[in-house]
Amino acid sequence: MRLAAPITLAVLIAIWQLVCMAGLVPGYMLPSPLAVVQALVSDWPLLCEHAVTSLIEAGLGLAAGVALGFISALLMDRFEVLYRAVYPLVVLTQTIPSVAIAPLLVLWFGYDMLPKVVLIVVTTFFPITVGLLEGLRSVDPDEIDLLRSMGATRGQIMRHVKLPAALPQFFSGLKISAAYAIVGAVIAEWLGGFSGLGVYMTRVRKAYSFDKMFAVIFLISALSLLLMWAVEAVRRISMPWERGERKPQ
């Protein structure tokens, strides 16, 4: 049922509104949905200005992370020694919380856009690299041997067999990275900056404007969903054979 998720969300919002109207939770701790919508509407122009900054940071960091992850996955798939040497380090980077890295990046690169972009690259690099690498290495070796016996080059094998086989995992990682990009930008902006949704959140938190806090949280969620939907649209365009496989089902 396609309406299951919207109905569930509407029910939760209605319960939230009723709880606030009944006074079960103080208004300064949990603003009502109506108060959040009012704050979103009243601060919409300012939120849009901050959102543009965060989206630029997320876009630059995501593009750099995808490029770096794509190249790293191709090199590790090509050279087994490089895979054994680098892959454990790639996994190790995910054990370090991004919140712990952010202060160091601000200290090293200042309060401009560069530390935010670097943090997003670090955050988005892992899903892209691991997803694409697992897809490349999942190809049947017998299929590769067959193509080699027919005179296919490494580039032809990569283009016609490995990359198509790895696209599902690649886009799955890209969808995760798209959501991480916005979150990474906001986390980096918490620690300093002049514009961005994270800077806005810090300011309204100090003013105890929790209705505006919830408004910006909803906006961040909406932007993350939009980026994920954009990735899904690109996936459908890049993998038209999936639609053909689903139609008979």
Identify the band that residue 157 occupies on the pLDDT scale cut at 50, 70 and 90. Answer: confident
Question: What is each CA distance from 72 to 84, 162, 229, in whole angstroms?
Answer: 13, 15, 26
Alpha carbon 157 to its chain's center: 30
pLDDT at 244: 56
pLDDT at 245: 56
Tell whether 92 is covered by a domain: yes
Tell whether 22 is covered by a domain: no
Q: Looking at the 3D structure of the chain, how many domains does it have?
A: 1
Residue 189 has pLDDT above 70, yes or no: yes
Which residue, among 125, 120, 85, 73, has the nearest Cα to 101 in the 3D structure? 120
**Mean pLDDT, rounded, for 150-155:** 82
Whole-number mean pLDDT of the chain? 84
Residue 35 has pLDDT above 90, yes or no: no
Tell whether 40 is covered by a domain: no
**Could you give the residue ranges of the DSSP H alpha helices within 94-209?**
98-109, 113-136, 141-149, 154-157, 163-190, 197-206
pLDDT tens digits, 68-106: 999 999 999 888 898 888 888 888 877 777 777 878 887
CATH code: domain of residue 215: 1.10.3720.10
Tell whether 4 is covered by a domain: no
Domain extent, residue 56, equals 45-239
pLDDT tens digits, 191-232: 777 788 888 888 888 877 888 888 998 899 888 889 889 988
Tell whether 29 is covered by a domain: no
Contact 189, 52 (CB under 8 A): no
pLDDT at 240: 78
Tell whether 121 is covered by a domain: yes
Tell whether 84 is covered by a domain: yes
pLDDT tens digits, 61-71: 999 999 999 99
Tell whether 30 is covered by a domain: no
Residue 246 has pLDDT above 70, yes or no: no
